[in-house]
Structure 1
Amino acid sequence: MTSQLQFTPEFWNNPHPVYAHLRQEAPVHPVTLPNGIEVWLVTRYADCKVALADPRLSKRQGAGDNARSLARPVSTPLTRHLLANDPPDHTRLRKLVAKVFTARRVEELRPRVGELSAALVGSLRGQEEAELVEDYAVHLPIQVICELLGVPVEDQADFRRWTSVMVSASAGGPGVPEAAAAFVGYLLGLIDRKRSAPAGDLLSALIATRDEGDRLSEDELTSMAFLLLLAGHETTVNLIGNGMYTLMTHPDAHRRLRADPALVPAAIEEFLRLESPVETATSRTAMEPVTYGGVTIPAGAMVAISLLAADRDPERFPAPDTFDLDRADNQHLAFGYGIHYCLGAPLARLEAQIAFTDLLTAFPGMRLAVPAAEVRWRPGVLIHGPVALPVRL
């Protein structure tokens, strides 16, 4: 398998020109990732939407002859969650946690999320400069998901470090097996403590389901806790970082949003479309030959669906590279599509609404402390966001 796509720092920092070329010239394209995994990369919106909901593409780990995750599964207890399963197991696992993430239940979290955000903003007041990712964007979603699951917030630095290593695996980053082993050990210990002293949190509820109803295996329980911790903060960290970067590089939109906070929900949808925090959906395996855009992917091959490329497809979005607060019909794919549509989308939107409103209100003059071209973006084709965002407050 050969690839015209070169995974260089220039690509990580700005993949959009490459994706535009692929959409035009090779919309379904064979790629060898830096970690050696071979995939077929799908880049056009129409093809991506079909592929995301295609039952012929399996999410189950171990399906097909060439099935390996974009992040290389390194431990069975971390690969039994709903994102790594097909129906009926996927359906069963999703039902266990879906009720926690309904719009109504999430809205009940608004006062607490507001308190957490206000405290973080308060810690920044009086400073001339800050690093927005580490000083704000990381902490808000981590604190929220820790409280929701019942994870001691003092442990956040550890699992933040482990998840950062694991999501960089597609870029060939080192230390993935060690990070996975450490994370598994932590989760097993936490589950044991919760089993001995249950509380009114989601992890205790999942343990009770496993122990009383026998509907979760031990590996499924550990894996679901891992997924909720990982997905519960990584995506929102980058949504906040990507959104603030976008505003600070679009001063007219920045001024307009400060003047009219009612536009924040629309702005969030444009942030999601323009700079999706998830660059590529977690991998699938073709269980039979599948054809997208006139290209047939053989059975057993891995398929990577580029959300970032799809959401700038000019066939779907007029002026796709433009940040447009008035964009109508913004049906982006940043949260996926079909049965694997992001379960935590309501929570991510709530956290983002509070984050952007609070930051714009508290620091109306916030601007980048370095030239935009010097902002480095995270390597890897799974997560898309700035490594750091130095700002003048």
Structure 2
Amino acid sequence: MSGPYAPLFSTAYFQDPFPTFAWLRENSPVHELSFPVGDVPTLMVTRHADVKHVRLRGFEDKPSVDIIEDFAGAIPTDIISAVLGFSLDAHLSIVDAVERAFPADPSRSEASTGAFDEICDLSRVLVLDKERAPAEDLTSFLVQAWRNEESLSLDELVALVAVIILGGINTTRALIGNAVLALLDHPDQRELLRGHPALDSQAVEEFLRHSGSVVVPVIRFPVRDTEIAGTAVAAGTPVMPCVMSANRDPTSITAPDRLDIARTNVKHFGLGHGIHNCLGAALARLEAEVAVADPHLPGHATGCTPVRPVLREQLDVARSDVPGRGTGRPPLLTRPAPQGVWSAS
């Protein structure tokens, strides 16, 4: 493949990974790299057919708006807090912890470790509270099942609640944020969506395919020796099925780099596949559909013009004639950046 591409997990890769994915699909579809902890050889799989083989598992009054923190993050955080049964005070703590665990600004990433610990602590307090005073919420249901069956330890139950918080909030937050960015990058699609509300659910499927929310793949471990695209893979070898690459594989979809919210029968791995399909897939789709349909979303607002600085994660969106929004400092549209930089072998 001709043309430059960014090394895996470099800063340039996180800004725009798709040229790298295209090169890998053509030149090294089962690519060996070094896992960051322990220097473990790991395989990254990038073609649609091969990823499927691996079987995947997922402001009204402000003159300046941070899309991730003020909008994209607020929707899933509010819903997950209600589903799990957090009190208002605990909900506010979750909002703060999640924002620090997955900072939109890479310069704030050092604070993420403590934030993960806080989320686990909040999960433990919630489980114990629901054990003493059960209510009509998911945590109470899980506690009751835990007491009746005793198939999990307390620590495992707490970990389960923490995973629901992390998985239910950050991935949807990233999806909504990337959907806003996609609409700003493609004004023709923005106008199409504004004029045809019936395309909302169809648009969400295209956002899941085109933009997605998982740049660093979830690692899988084959339980027996197998083969992927002619490459022998021994049992226990770490394999990274690259969902975002597979979703733009030209062998599986026409014009994969083009955002087209009018596509029908969109096939993607944005919410997993097979037995590893995301348990919260229906909720994630609903949240994203509500978000992209919001008439106050900057992607829909009249006069929104994206301006790209050096980092793609941050866009200044100039608003000149948005009713009721004020004319202060241009709002900041922030795209979530994955944590850490892994070195490719």
Structures share fold, TM-score greater than 0.5: yes
Q: 1:126 to 1:200 in 2, by over 3 A?
A: closer
What is the CA distance between 1:45 and its match in structure 2?
0.3
Q: Distance in 2 between matches of 1:331 and 1:227?
A: 26
Q: Secondary structure in 1 aligned to 2:172? A: helix
Q: Distance in 2 between matches of 1:320 and 1:343?
A: 26
Q: 1:294 to 1:366 in 2, by over 3 A?
A: farther
Q: Secondary structure in 1 aligned to 2:264? A: coil
Residues 60-92 of structure 1 show CA distances to partners (whole Å, capped at 9, x for unaligned) of xxxxxxxxxxxxxxxxxxxxxxx9xxxxxxxxx
Q: Distance in 2 between matches of 1:351 and 1:327?
A: 20
Amino acid corresponding to residue 77 of structure 2 in structure 1: I
Give the structure 2 partner of residue 303 of structure 1: 239
* TM-score (structure 2 length as normaliser): 0.80
Give the structure 1 partner of residue 74 of structure 2: 139
Q: 1:196 to 1:279 in 2, by over 3 A?
A: same
Q: 1:222 to 1:312 in 2, by over 3 A?
A: same
What is the CA distance between 1:175 and its match in structure 2?
6.1
The answer to whether the 8 Å contact 2:102/2:112 transfers is no
Q: 1:366 to 1:207 in 2, by over 3 A?
A: farther
Q: 1:336 to 1:196 in 2, by over 3 A?
A: same
Confirm whether residue 364 of structure 1 aligns to residue 301 of structure 2. yes
What is the CA distance between 1:361 and its match in structure 2?
7.3
* TM-score (structure 1 length as normaliser): 0.71
Q: 1:48 to 1:332 in 2, by over 3 A?
A: same
Q: 1:345 to 1:368 in 2, by over 3 A?
A: farther
Give the structure 2 partner of residue 270 of structure 1: 206
Q: 1:162 to 1:372 in 2, by over 3 A?
A: closer
Query: Superposed, which structure 2 residues align to 1:195-210 within 5 Å?
Result: 195-210=131-146
Amino acid corresponding to residue 202 of structure 1 in structure 2: L
Q: Secondary structure in 2 aligned to 1:285? A: coil
What is the CA distance between 1:15 and its match in structure 2?
0.4
Amino acid corresponding to residue 375 of structure 1 in structure 2: R
Higher helix proportion (structure 1 or 2): 1
Q: Secondary structure in 2 aligned to 1:329? A: coil
Q: Secondary structure in 2 aligned to 1:129? A: coil
What is the CA distance between 1:235 and its match in structure 2?
1.2
The answer to whether the 8 Å contact 2:25/2:46 transfers is yes
Confirm whether residue 44 of structure 1 aligns to residue 47 of structure 2. yes
Give the structure 1 partner of residue 338 of structure 2: 380
What is the CA distance between 1:157 and its match in structure 2?
3.0
Confirm whether residue 27 of structure 1 aligns to residue 29 of structure 2. yes
What is the CA distance between 1:371 and its match in structure 2?
2.0
What is the CA distance between 1:257 and its match in structure 2?
0.8
Q: Distance in 1 between matches of 2:118 and 2:230?
A: 44
Amino acid corresponding to residue 47 of structure 2 in structure 1: R
Residues 333-354 of structure 1 show CA distances to partners (whole Å, capped at 9, x for unaligned) of 1011011100111101111111
Give the structure 2 partner of residue 184 of structure 1: 120
The answer to whether the 8 Å contact 1:240/1:355 transfers is yes
Amino acid corresponding to residue 98 of structure 2 in structure 1: R
Q: Distance in 1 between matches of 2:336 and 2:73?
A: 14
Give the structure 2 partner of residue 214 of structure 1: 150
Confirm whether residue 324 of structure 1 aligns to residue 260 of structure 2. yes
5+ long unaligned stretches in structure 2: 1-5, 314-334, 341-345
Amino acid corresponding to residue 212 of structure 1 in structure 2: N
The answer to whether the 8 Å contact 1:258/1:360 transfers is no
Q: Distance in 1 between matches of 2:308 and 2:117?
A: 39
Give the structure 1 partner of residue 165 of structure 2: 229
Q: Distance in 2 between matches of 1:229 and 1:43?
A: 28
Q: 1:241 to 1:197 in 2, by over 3 A?
A: same
The answer to whether the 8 Å contact 1:242/1:277 transfers is yes
Residues 290-324 of structure 1 show CA distances to partners (whole Å, capped at 9, x for unaligned) of 21111112222101110000000000011000011
* Alignment partner of 1:148 out of 83, 103, 118: 83
Amino acid corresponding to residue 97 of structure 2 in structure 1: F
Residues 95-131 of structure 1 show CA distances to partners (whole Å, capped at 9, x for unaligned) of xxxxxxxxxxxxxxxxxxxxxxxxxxxxx23444322
The answer to whether the 8 Å contact 1:9/1:379 transfers is no
Give the structure 1 partner of residue 331 of structure 2: none
Q: Secondary structure in 1 aligned to 2:232? A: strand
Q: Distance in 2 between matches of 1:29 and 1:207?
A: 43
* Alignment partner of 1:157 out of 95, 105, 114: 95
Q: Distance in 2 between matches of 1:285 and 1:329?
A: 30
Q: How many correspondences in the alignment?
A: 305
Give the structure 1 partner of residue 343 of structure 2: none
Amino acid corresponding to residue 31 of structure 1 in structure 2: L
Q: 1:213 to 1:39 in 2, by over 3 A?
A: same
Q: 1:175 to 1:220 in 2, by over 3 A?
A: same
The answer to whether the 8 Å contact 1:5/1:31 transfers is no
What is the CA distance between 1:366 and its match in structure 2?
5.7
Q: Distance in 1 between matches of 2:211 and 2:72?
A: 16
Query: Superposed, which structure 2 residues align to 1:55-204 within 5 Å?
Result: 124-152=59-87, 153-161=91-99, 163-164=101-102, 174=110, 178-204=114-140
Residues 139-194 of structure 1 show CA distances to partners (whole Å, capped at 9, x for unaligned) of 111010000001232222343146427xx9xxxx6566644443333322221122
Give the structure 1 partner of residue 14 of structure 2: 12
5+ long unaligned stretches in structure 1: 54-58, 60-82, 84-123, 383-393
